[in-house]
Amino acid sequence: MKTMYFIKQNLVMLCFTLLFFSCSSEDTNSSTTNSAENVASILKTGTWRITYYFDTDKEETSNFSGYNFTFANNGVLTASNGTLTQTGTWSITDSNSKDDNISDLDFNIAFSTPATFAELTDDWEIIEKTATVIKLKDVSGGNGGIDYLTFTKN
């Protein structure tokens, strides 16, 4: 009788253990967690600033000091420092709709002028996303240099 109770107890513990380990943290990420719509909804709330910009061989974060960026619903990207306003476009596209991997999302930015803002024009790879930070990376096609761009929510 004690043996039967011991076996039942161990089976119950084994079932709970299997259930616990089969539910990984990835399971809590729904397919929308890293979707283009999810990233866009994060960006459309509030204003953002560039807290890091590295252009191939040097840091150029200071070029955007004092600018707040607004990502509007209609794809308009506005950067303003209170005196000057620059307008461009933005979008998020998914290069692989079968996977919810964040690295498959492209963050597209386009500014035509001035030259400082035009440097941001590219299809950036999203390498990290939270509700308050979006980290981007771009490998240049010409020289193979790597650019990094980080937006942080105000």
Distance, C-alpha 114 to centroid of its chain: 25
Residue 138 forms part of a structural domain: yes
Give the pLDDT confidence of 106-151 residue by residue, as tens digits.
999 999 999 999 999 999 999 999 999 999 999 876 777 899 999 9
Q: Is the pLDDT of residue 17 over 70?
A: no
Residue 65 forms part of a structural domain: yes
| CATH number where 50 lies | 2.40.128.280
Q: Is the pLDDT of residue 11 over 60?
A: no
Return the exposure string of 113-150: e unless at least 16 CB atoms fall within 10 Å of the residue's CB, then b: eeeebebbebebbbbebeeeebbbbbeeeeeeeebbbb
Rg (CA), the chain: 22
pLDDT value of position 6: 47
Own/partner pairs for 135-140, CB < 8 Å, 24+ apart?
136/107, 140/56
Q: What is the mean pLDDT of residues 92-119?
A: 81
Q: What is the mean pLDDT of residues 79-89?
A: 97
Q: What are phi and psi of 55, to 5 degrees?
A: -105, 95
Residue 2 forms part of a structural domain: no
pTM, entire model = 0.74
CB 107 within 8 A of CB 137: no
Residue 69 forms part of a structural domain: yes
Residue 12 forms part of a structural domain: no
Question: What's the domain range around 134?
Answer: 33-153
Question: Which of residues 4 and 39 earns the better pLDDT score?
Answer: 39
Query: How many domains, the chain?
Result: 1
Give the pLDDT confidence of 23-58 residue by residue, as tens digits.
444 433 333 467 888 899 999 999 999 999 999 889
